[in-house]
Amino acid sequence: MPSRLYFEEGDFLRCRFAVSPLWETQEAVRTLKRPDRHGYHAPWLRRIRRAAAGLDLTPLWLLMPRRGHSPDWLGPPPIGPAATFGEEIAAVRAADPEAARADTARSLADTPGALESPYGLAWLADPERMVRDLADAMEQAWHVLVEPDWPRLRALLEADVAFHSRRLAEVGLGGLLPELSGRFGWHAGTLTVESAGEYERHLGGQGLVLMPSVFSWPDVVTGFEPPWQPALVYPARGIGGLWSEPADRAPDTLVRLLGRGRAAVLTALDEPSTTTALAHRLGLAASSVSAHLTVLRDSGLLTSRRYGHQVLYERTPLGIMLASGG
């Protein structure tokens, strides 16, 4: 059953990419309850199993029906292109209790018996406490499930954004959207999404937030009711090598493909780094590292971003897969 988003002229000017640690936390919690997702994240699940056992995730799971509505106030579209978890959870804590109550009641209605459960009765009777308690639960889940791996997750998500930003410049929005997922179609200013439920929305000049996600992979998510800005969550590229541990040295196959110097540089980039830092780590001349970085970037294996006087290099999803031997 398709969902449809209708674009007007002004919407094309207000489409933006964003990365959300809050969203990844929510989807990490959901993944623990979704065996169909476990195969994509098996190393992560093994690593966090003991710590996750100490969390009480039942309240959050109660608001995550397999088919139905999850409260927008608890996982809203990101407030900026690169908001921190602290900024996002502060916005959750500032939610209007009565609006949150209505949103939560709608979600509870999609799970048989949830409205009459002890949690449901308590939340609807005291929405201020509900906002506080659920925000606390989400923050605890962040610290245990996602924060230890956030640098790795953020690098992959930002690499996805960089790649698709270039594609947007090359093919335009109508060409890009079907590339994000095979479930997306585009015709005459209308985005069609193959989904379990039916949803329609005229964007009305609000534009669209395009958000890659690791833990929602391979699902796509559309929606967010007014007053939230509409958002489209799509599977991030390159998760095949996400959970692979960085190699101590470049794999022999990678050395044969790229040469020893370039393979060493690609392997060493397990987190964003500058030319100087890489040269120091590898014991190579900065000029040699710079030359290797240029070739790797031009080949689509790295991206570069300027921060002040520094340029940071990081692997693209393809670079991640090659460096991990994938």
| pLDDT at residue number 74 | 92
| pLDDT at residue number 200 | 81
What is the average pLDDT value for the chain, to the nearest integer? 86
Question: Rounded CA gap, 112 and 108, in Å?
Answer: 8
Counting Cα atoms < 13 Å in the Cβ hemisphere of 235 gives 16
Residue 224, pLDDT above cutoff 80 = no
Question: Rounded CA gap, 11 and 311, in Å?
Answer: 32
CA angle, 106 as apex, 103 and 109 as ends, to 5°? 150
Rg (CA), the chain: 21
Q: Where do the domains of the chain lie?
A: 2-17+152-239, 21-149, 244-323
Task: Work out the burial of residue 36: count CB atoms within 10 Å of its CB; fewer than 13 is exposed, 13-18 middle, 19 or more buried.
Answer: exposed
Higher-scoring residue by pLDDT: 326, 244? 244
Residue 21, pLDDT above cutoff 60 = yes
Q: Report, as an integer, the average pLDDT of 130-145.
A: 97
From the options 2.60.40.1940, 3.30.9.40, 3.40.50.970, 1.10.10.10, give the CATH code of 244-323: 1.10.10.10
pLDDT in tens, 240-266: 667 765 555 666 778 888 888 898 888
- Please say whether the beta carbons of 185 and 67 come within 8 A: no
Residue 190 CB neighbour total at 10 angstroms: 12
Residue 130, pLDDT above cutoff 90 = yes
| pLDDT at residue number 291 | 93
% of the chain surpassing 70 pLDDT? 94
Q: Report, as an integer, the average pLDDT of 176-191.
A: 87
- Please say whether the beta carbons of 75 and 23 come within 8 A: yes
pLDDT in tens, 69-115: 889 999 888 887 778 999 999 999 999 999 999 999 999 998 888 88
State the pTM of this model: 0.75
